[in-house]
Structure 1
Protein backbone atom coordinates (compact mmCIF):
# COMPACT_ATOMS: atom_id res chain seq x y z
CA UNK A 1 0.00 0.00 0.00
CA UNK A 2 2.18 2.36 -1.10
CA UNK A 3 -0.35 4.63 -2.00
CA UNK A 4 0.53 8.19 -2.03
CA UNK A 5 -1.62 10.12 0.07
CA UNK A 6 -2.79 13.31 -1.38
CA UNK A 7 -3.37 15.69 1.31
CA UNK A 8 -6.59 17.37 1.00
CA UNK A 9 -6.85 20.78 2.34
CA UNK A 10 -10.04 21.13 3.92
CA UNK A 11 -11.12 24.59 4.62
CA UNK A 12 -11.76 25.48 8.00
CA UNK A 13 -15.15 25.65 9.13
CA UNK A 14 -16.00 29.30 9.09
CA UNK A 15 -13.96 30.43 6.08
CA UNK A 16 -15.69 31.30 2.82
CA UNK A 17 -13.72 30.14 -0.19
CA UNK A 18 -15.15 32.81 -2.44
CA UNK A 19 -13.90 35.77 -0.37
CA UNK A 20 -10.26 36.87 -0.81
CA UNK A 21 -7.96 37.44 2.12
CA UNK A 22 -7.84 40.74 3.80
CA UNK A 23 -4.24 41.33 2.71
CA UNK A 24 -5.22 40.84 -0.93
CA UNK A 25 -8.07 43.31 -0.60
CA UNK A 26 -5.76 45.92 0.99
CA UNK A 27 -3.11 45.35 -1.71
CA UNK A 28 -5.73 45.75 -4.45
CA UNK A 29 -7.08 48.98 -2.94
CA UNK A 30 -3.56 50.43 -2.58
CA UNK A 31 -2.70 49.42 -6.13
CA UNK A 32 -5.90 51.08 -7.49
CA UNK A 33 -5.15 54.25 -5.50
CA UNK A 34 -1.55 54.39 -6.76
CA UNK A 35 -2.71 53.74 -10.32
CA UNK A 36 -5.38 56.46 -10.04
CA UNK A 37 -2.84 58.99 -8.77
CA UNK A 38 -0.36 58.14 -11.55
CA UNK A 39 -3.04 58.35 -14.23
CA UNK A 40 -4.48 61.63 -12.87
CA UNK A 41 -1.00 63.24 -12.54
CA UNK A 42 0.70 62.00 -15.72
CA UNK A 43 -1.75 60.65 -18.29
CA UNK A 44 -4.82 62.88 -17.82
CA UNK A 45 -2.90 66.20 -18.26
CA UNK A 46 -1.33 64.90 -21.46
CA UNK A 47 -4.74 63.82 -22.73
CA UNK A 48 -6.16 67.22 -21.74
CA UNK A 49 -3.30 69.07 -23.49
CA UNK A 50 -3.66 66.98 -26.62
CA UNK A 51 -7.43 67.45 -26.57
CA UNK A 52 -7.05 71.21 -26.07
CA UNK A 53 -4.49 71.45 -28.89
CA UNK A 54 -6.71 69.54 -31.25
CA UNK A 55 -9.73 71.61 -30.25
CA UNK A 56 -7.80 74.83 -30.86
CA UNK A 57 -6.47 73.51 -34.17
CA UNK A 58 -9.94 72.52 -35.30
CA UNK A 59 -11.43 75.83 -34.15
CA UNK A 60 -8.53 77.72 -35.78
CA UNK A 61 -8.99 75.76 -38.99
CA UNK A 62 -12.71 76.45 -38.95
CA UNK A 63 -12.07 80.14 -38.27
CA UNK A 64 -9.43 80.24 -40.98
CA UNK A 65 -11.80 78.50 -43.41
CA UNK A 66 -14.59 80.93 -42.52
CA UNK A 67 -12.23 83.89 -43.01
CA UNK A 68 -11.07 82.46 -46.35
CA UNK A 69 -14.73 81.93 -47.30
CA UNK A 70 -15.54 85.57 -46.43
CA UNK A 71 -12.52 86.82 -48.40
CA UNK A 72 -13.46 84.65 -51.37
CA UNK A 73 -17.04 85.94 -51.22
CA UNK A 74 -15.81 89.55 -51.05
CA UNK A 75 -13.44 88.94 -53.98
CA UNK A 76 -16.27 87.32 -55.95
CA UNK A 77 -18.57 90.28 -55.29
CA UNK A 78 -15.81 92.71 -56.27
CA UNK A 79 -15.11 90.71 -59.44
CA UNK A 80 -18.81 90.66 -60.33
CA UNK A 81 -19.05 94.43 -59.73
CA UNK A 82 -15.99 95.03 -61.92
CA UNK A 83 -17.42 92.71 -64.58
CA UNK A 84 -20.74 94.56 -64.57
CA UNK A 85 -18.91 97.87 -64.73
CA UNK A 86 -16.77 96.60 -67.59
CA UNK A 87 -19.83 95.36 -69.46
CA UNK A 88 -21.62 98.69 -69.10
CA UNK A 89 -18.47 100.55 -70.13
CA UNK A 90 -18.05 98.26 -73.14
CA UNK A 91 -21.69 98.85 -74.12
CA UNK A 92 -21.15 102.61 -73.78
CA UNK A 93 -17.98 102.42 -75.89
CA UNK A 94 -19.84 100.37 -78.53
CA UNK A 95 -22.68 102.89 -78.56
CA UNK A 96 -20.24 105.80 -78.81
CA UNK A 97 -18.41 104.03 -81.64
CA UNK A 98 -21.68 103.49 -83.50
CA UNK A 99 -22.60 107.13 -83.05
CA UNK A 100 -19.15 108.29 -84.10
CA UNK A 101 -19.19 105.89 -87.07
CA UNK A 102 -22.59 107.22 -88.15
CA UNK A 103 -21.35 110.78 -87.83
CA UNK A 104 -18.19 110.01 -89.82
CA UNK A 105 -20.22 108.24 -92.51
CA UNK A 106 -22.60 111.22 -92.72
CA UNK A 107 -19.65 113.62 -92.99
CA UNK A 108 -18.00 111.48 -95.65
CA UNK A 109 -21.29 111.24 -97.55
CA UNK A 110 -21.72 115.03 -97.39
CA UNK A 111 -18.14 115.55 -98.52
CA UNK A 112 -18.59 113.04 -101.34
CA UNK A 113 -21.83 114.70 -102.44
CA UNK A 114 -20.22 118.15 -102.29
CA UNK A 115 -17.22 116.84 -104.23
CA UNK A 116 -19.51 115.18 -106.78
CA UNK A 117 -21.53 118.40 -107.14
CA UNK A 118 -18.31 120.36 -107.57
CA UNK A 119 -17.03 117.89 -110.18
CA UNK A 120 -20.37 117.98 -112.02
CA UNK A 121 -20.41 121.78 -111.88
CA UNK A 122 -16.83 121.92 -113.15
CA UNK A 123 -17.73 119.50 -115.94
CA UNK A 124 -20.78 121.61 -116.88
CA UNK A 125 -18.66 124.77 -116.81
CA UNK A 126 -15.97 123.13 -118.88
CA UNK A 127 -18.53 121.76 -121.33
CA UNK A 128 -20.17 125.17 -121.59
CA UNK A 129 -16.80 126.82 -122.19
CA UNK A 130 -15.90 124.19 -124.80
CA UNK A 131 -19.33 124.55 -126.41
CA UNK A 132 -18.95 128.32 -126.57
CA UNK A 133 -15.47 127.90 -128.03
CA UNK A 134 -16.71 125.39 -130.59
CA UNK A 135 -19.67 127.64 -131.48
CA UNK A 136 -17.31 130.60 -131.91
CA UNK A 137 -15.01 128.54 -134.09
CA UNK A 138 -17.93 127.22 -136.11
CA UNK A 139 -19.35 130.71 -136.55
CA UNK A 140 -16.02 131.93 -137.79
CA UNK A 141 -15.58 128.98 -140.14
CA UNK A 142 -19.18 128.99 -141.31
CA UNK A 143 -19.02 132.76 -141.75
CA UNK A 144 -15.89 132.48 -143.88
CA UNK A 145 -17.36 129.66 -145.91
CA UNK A 146 -20.67 131.47 -146.31
CA UNK A 147 -19.05 134.71 -147.48
CA UNK A 148 -16.84 132.82 -149.96
CA UNK A 149 -19.86 130.91 -151.21
CA UNK A 150 -21.98 134.03 -151.39
CA UNK A 151 -19.16 135.86 -153.17
CA UNK A 152 -18.93 133.07 -155.71
CA UNK A 153 -22.70 132.99 -156.20
CA UNK A 154 -23.00 136.75 -156.54
CA UNK A 155 -19.79 137.01 -158.43
CA UNK A 156 -18.45 139.77 -156.23
CA UNK A 157 -16.00 139.73 -153.43
CA UNK A 158 -17.62 140.35 -150.08
CA UNK A 159 -14.64 141.75 -148.30
CA UNK A 160 -16.53 143.95 -145.91
CA UNK A 161 -15.91 141.88 -142.79
CA UNK A 162 -18.34 143.74 -140.59
CA UNK A 163 -21.27 143.31 -142.96
CA UNK A 164 -20.38 139.70 -143.64
CA UNK A 165 -20.11 138.96 -139.92
CA UNK A 166 -23.52 140.52 -139.22
CA UNK A 167 -25.07 138.56 -142.04
CA UNK A 168 -23.54 135.33 -140.81
CA UNK A 169 -24.57 136.05 -137.20
CA UNK A 170 -28.14 136.75 -138.30
CA UNK A 171 -28.19 133.56 -140.35
CA UNK A 172 -26.84 131.47 -137.46
CA UNK A 173 -29.31 133.05 -135.04
CA UNK A 174 -32.11 132.08 -137.37
CA UNK A 175 -30.76 128.54 -137.54
CA UNK A 176 -30.51 128.30 -133.77
CA UNK A 177 -34.02 129.60 -133.26
CA UNK A 178 -35.27 127.16 -135.88
CA UNK A 179 -33.55 124.28 -134.02
CA UNK A 180 -35.10 125.38 -130.72
CA UNK A 181 -38.54 125.11 -132.25
CA UNK A 182 -39.18 128.85 -132.45
CA UNK A 183 -40.62 130.09 -135.69
CA UNK A 184 -38.18 131.98 -137.84
CA UNK A 185 -38.93 135.10 -139.79
CA UNK A 186 -38.66 134.50 -143.48
CA UNK A 187 -36.89 137.22 -145.39
CA UNK A 188 -39.16 139.04 -147.72
CA UNK A 189 -37.24 137.86 -150.76
CA UNK A 190 -37.68 134.21 -149.96
CA UNK A 191 -41.37 134.79 -149.31
CA UNK A 192 -41.76 136.34 -152.76
CA UNK A 193 -40.03 133.50 -154.60
Structure 2
Protein backbone atom coordinates (compact mmCIF):
# COMPACT_ATOMS: atom_id res chain seq x y z
CA UNK A 1 0.00 0.00 0.00
CA UNK A 2 2.76 2.41 0.84
CA UNK A 3 4.54 1.32 -2.31
CA UNK A 4 1.44 2.11 -4.33
CA UNK A 5 1.24 5.55 -2.85
CA UNK A 6 4.92 6.16 -3.53
CA UNK A 7 4.47 4.97 -7.11
CA UNK A 8 1.39 7.09 -7.52
CA UNK A 9 3.23 10.09 -6.18
CA UNK A 10 6.15 9.52 -8.56
CA UNK A 11 3.90 9.25 -11.60
CA UNK A 12 2.02 12.36 -11.06
CA UNK A 13 3.05 15.69 -10.28
CA UNK A 14 3.05 16.53 -6.72
CA UNK A 15 -0.52 16.32 -5.43
CA UNK A 16 -1.39 18.51 -2.51
CA UNK A 17 -3.20 15.60 -0.89
CA UNK A 18 -0.40 13.09 -1.05
CA UNK A 19 2.77 14.00 0.81
CA UNK A 20 6.14 13.29 -0.71
CA UNK A 21 7.46 9.75 -0.22
CA UNK A 22 10.22 10.36 2.31
CA UNK A 23 7.88 12.46 4.49
CA UNK A 24 5.27 9.75 4.30
CA UNK A 25 7.82 7.16 5.39
CA UNK A 26 9.16 9.28 8.23
CA UNK A 27 5.63 10.19 9.34
CA UNK A 28 4.55 6.55 9.32
CA UNK A 29 7.68 5.52 11.20
CA UNK A 30 7.17 8.31 13.78
CA UNK A 31 3.52 7.33 14.18
CA UNK A 32 4.51 3.67 14.74
CA UNK A 33 7.07 4.70 17.39
CA UNK A 34 4.59 6.98 19.21
CA UNK A 35 1.92 4.29 18.95
CA UNK A 36 4.29 1.66 20.32
CA UNK A 37 5.33 3.94 23.23
CA UNK A 38 1.71 4.73 24.00
CA UNK A 39 0.72 1.07 23.76
CA UNK A 40 3.57 -0.13 25.99
CA UNK A 41 3.94 2.68 28.53
CA UNK A 42 0.97 5.02 28.61
CA UNK A 43 -1.95 2.71 27.86
CA UNK A 44 -1.28 0.36 30.85
CA UNK A 45 -1.09 3.38 33.17
CA UNK A 46 -4.31 4.81 31.79
CA UNK A 47 -6.03 1.42 32.15
CA UNK A 48 -4.68 1.08 35.69
CA UNK A 49 -5.95 4.57 36.61
CA UNK A 50 -9.36 3.82 35.08
CA UNK A 51 -9.56 0.53 36.98
CA UNK A 52 -8.61 2.29 40.24
CA UNK A 53 -11.27 4.92 39.68
CA UNK A 54 -13.80 2.24 38.83
CA UNK A 55 -12.88 0.35 42.02
CA UNK A 56 -13.09 3.57 44.06
CA UNK A 57 -16.48 4.40 42.62
CA UNK A 58 -17.75 0.86 43.22
CA UNK A 59 -16.31 0.91 46.74
CA UNK A 60 -17.89 4.29 47.39
CA UNK A 61 -21.25 3.02 46.18
CA UNK A 62 -20.98 -0.09 48.34
CA UNK A 63 -19.88 2.02 51.30
CA UNK A 64 -22.80 4.41 50.73
CA UNK A 65 -25.21 1.48 50.54
CA UNK A 66 -23.75 0.04 53.74
CA UNK A 67 -24.07 3.42 55.47
CA UNK A 68 -27.61 3.80 54.22
CA UNK A 69 -28.48 0.31 55.50
CA UNK A 70 -26.89 1.16 58.85
CA UNK A 71 -28.76 4.47 58.96
CA UNK A 72 -32.01 2.65 58.24
CA UNK A 73 -31.24 0.19 61.04
CA UNK A 74 -30.49 3.04 63.47
CA UNK A 75 -33.72 4.76 62.41
CA UNK A 76 -35.71 1.60 63.10
CA UNK A 77 -34.03 1.25 66.50
CA UNK A 78 -34.80 4.88 67.27
CA UNK A 79 -38.44 4.40 66.28
CA UNK A 80 -38.66 1.27 68.43
CA UNK A 81 -37.10 3.07 71.40
CA UNK A 82 -39.43 6.02 70.89
CA UNK A 83 -42.46 3.74 70.80
CA UNK A 84 -41.20 1.95 73.92
CA UNK A 85 -40.64 5.28 75.69
CA UNK A 86 -44.15 6.41 74.80
CA UNK A 87 -45.56 3.13 76.05
CA UNK A 88 -43.56 3.46 79.29
CA UNK A 89 -44.76 7.05 79.74
CA UNK A 90 -48.37 5.96 79.25
CA UNK A 91 -47.87 3.15 81.76
CA UNK A 92 -46.32 5.52 84.31
CA UNK A 93 -49.12 8.03 83.78
CA UNK A 94 -51.70 5.28 84.31
CA UNK A 95 -49.92 4.10 87.47
CA UNK A 96 -49.81 7.67 88.79
CA UNK A 97 -53.53 8.09 88.15
CA UNK A 98 -54.27 4.80 89.89
CA UNK A 99 -52.07 5.74 92.84
CA UNK A 100 -53.72 9.14 93.02
CA UNK A 101 -57.18 7.57 93.00
CA UNK A 102 -56.13 5.06 95.68
CA UNK A 103 -54.65 7.86 97.78
CA UNK A 104 -57.82 9.92 97.45
CA UNK A 105 -59.95 6.92 98.43
CA UNK A 106 -57.65 6.22 101.38
CA UNK A 107 -57.80 9.83 102.53
CA UNK A 108 -61.60 9.84 102.24
CA UNK A 109 -61.81 6.67 104.30
CA UNK A 110 -59.44 8.18 106.88
CA UNK A 111 -61.51 11.37 106.96
CA UNK A 112 -64.70 9.36 107.38
CA UNK A 113 -63.13 7.34 110.21
CA UNK A 114 -61.91 10.52 111.95
CA UNK A 115 -65.32 12.13 111.52
CA UNK A 116 -67.00 9.11 113.08
CA UNK A 117 -64.49 9.15 115.96
CA UNK A 118 -65.15 12.85 116.55
CA UNK A 119 -68.92 12.28 116.43
CA UNK A 120 -68.63 9.32 118.82
CA UNK A 121 -66.40 11.34 121.17
CA UNK A 122 -68.89 14.22 120.96
CA UNK A 123 -71.81 11.92 121.76
CA UNK A 124 -69.99 10.38 124.71
CA UNK A 125 -68.99 13.87 125.93
CA UNK A 126 -72.59 15.05 125.57
CA UNK A 127 -73.77 11.95 127.43
CA UNK A 128 -71.22 12.54 130.19
CA UNK A 129 -72.17 16.23 130.37
CA UNK A 130 -75.87 15.30 130.45
CA UNK A 131 -75.29 12.85 133.29
CA UNK A 132 -73.18 15.40 135.18
CA UNK A 133 -75.83 18.06 134.62
CA UNK A 134 -78.57 15.66 135.69
CA UNK A 135 -76.60 14.78 138.83
CA UNK A 136 -75.96 18.47 139.62
CA UNK A 137 -79.58 19.28 138.90
CA UNK A 138 -80.72 16.40 141.07
CA UNK A 139 -78.65 17.68 143.97
CA UNK A 140 -79.82 21.27 143.49
CA UNK A 141 -83.45 20.23 143.13
CA UNK A 142 -83.08 17.98 146.15
CA UNK A 143 -81.66 20.79 148.28
CA UNK A 144 -84.33 23.20 147.14
CA UNK A 145 -87.07 20.64 147.71
CA UNK A 146 -85.69 19.83 151.16
CA UNK A 147 -85.55 23.50 152.09
CA UNK A 148 -89.05 24.06 150.76
CA UNK A 149 -90.40 20.97 152.49
CA UNK A 150 -88.71 22.02 155.73
CA UNK A 151 -90.32 25.44 155.50
CA UNK A 152 -93.70 23.90 154.75
CA UNK A 153 -93.49 21.28 157.46
CA UNK A 154 -91.87 23.58 159.86
CA UNK A 155 -89.12 21.23 160.91
CA UNK A 156 -85.63 20.83 159.68
CA UNK A 157 -84.89 18.03 157.28
CA UNK A 158 -81.17 18.31 157.57
CA UNK A 159 -80.55 14.63 158.13
CA UNK A 160 -78.47 13.71 155.11
CA UNK A 161 -79.56 10.13 154.81
CA UNK A 162 -83.20 11.01 155.05
CA UNK A 163 -82.71 13.93 152.74
CA UNK A 164 -80.99 11.73 150.19
CA UNK A 165 -83.73 9.08 150.32
CA UNK A 166 -86.44 11.68 149.97
CA UNK A 167 -84.74 13.34 147.03
CA UNK A 168 -84.08 10.03 145.28
CA UNK A 169 -87.68 8.90 145.78
CA UNK A 170 -88.99 12.21 144.48
CA UNK A 171 -86.75 12.18 141.40
CA UNK A 172 -87.52 8.52 140.68
CA UNK A 173 -91.22 9.34 140.74
CA UNK A 174 -90.58 12.23 138.32
CA UNK A 175 -88.62 9.95 135.96
CA UNK A 176 -91.37 7.33 136.05
CA UNK A 177 -93.98 9.93 135.20
CA UNK A 178 -91.78 11.22 132.37
CA UNK A 179 -91.27 7.72 130.93
CA UNK A 180 -94.97 6.96 131.19
CA UNK A 181 -95.73 10.15 129.27
CA UNK A 182 -93.52 9.06 126.37
Which residue does the alignment assign to 2:14? Answer: 17
Name the structure with the higher helix share. 2
Cα separation, 1, equivalents of 2:11 and 2:47:
50
Q: Secondary structure at the match of 1:129?
A: helix
1:102-121 aligned at under 5 Å gives the runs: 102-121=101-120
Q: Secondary structure at the match of 1:17?
A: coil
Cα separation, 1, equivalents of 2:25 and 2:180:
158
State which drifts further: 160-169 or 59-68.
Answer: 160-169
Give the TM-score of the pair, scaled to structure 2.
Answer: 0.82
Cα separation, 1, equivalents of 2:173 and 2:55:
123
Structure 1 unaligned residues grouped into runs of 5+? 1-12, 184-193
Cα separation, 2, equivalents of 1:14 and 1:121:
149
Cα separation, 2, equivalents of 1:154 and 1:71:
121
Cα separation, 2, equivalents of 1:34 and 1:115:
117
State which drifts further: 172-181 or 132-141.
Answer: 172-181
Cα separation, 2, equivalents of 1:102 and 1:36:
95
Which residue does the alignment assign to 1:70? Answer: 69
Which residue does the alignment assign to 1:31? Answer: 30
Cα separation, 1, equivalents of 2:59 and 2:11:
66
Contact 2:147 2:157 in 1 (8 A): yes
Which residue does the alignment assign to 1:58? Answer: 57
State which drifts further: 40-49 or 27-36.
Answer: 40-49
181 and 93 in structure 1: CA distance in 2 versus 1, 3 angstrom threshold: farther
Which residue does the alignment assign to 1:47? Answer: 46
Cα separation, 2, equivalents of 1:182 and 1:43:
140
Q: Secondary structure at the match of 2:156?
A: coil
| Structure 1 residue 172 displacement after superposition | 4.4
1:1-193 aligned at under 5 Å gives the runs: 14-18=11-15, 19-169=18-168, 171-172=170-171, 182=181
Cα separation, 2, equivalents of 1:181 and 1:93:
68
65 and 181 in structure 1: CA distance in 2 versus 1, 3 angstrom threshold: farther
Q: Secondary structure at the match of 2:87?
A: helix
Which residue does the alignment assign to 2:5? Answer: none
171 and 16 in structure 1: CA distance in 2 versus 1, 3 angstrom threshold: farther
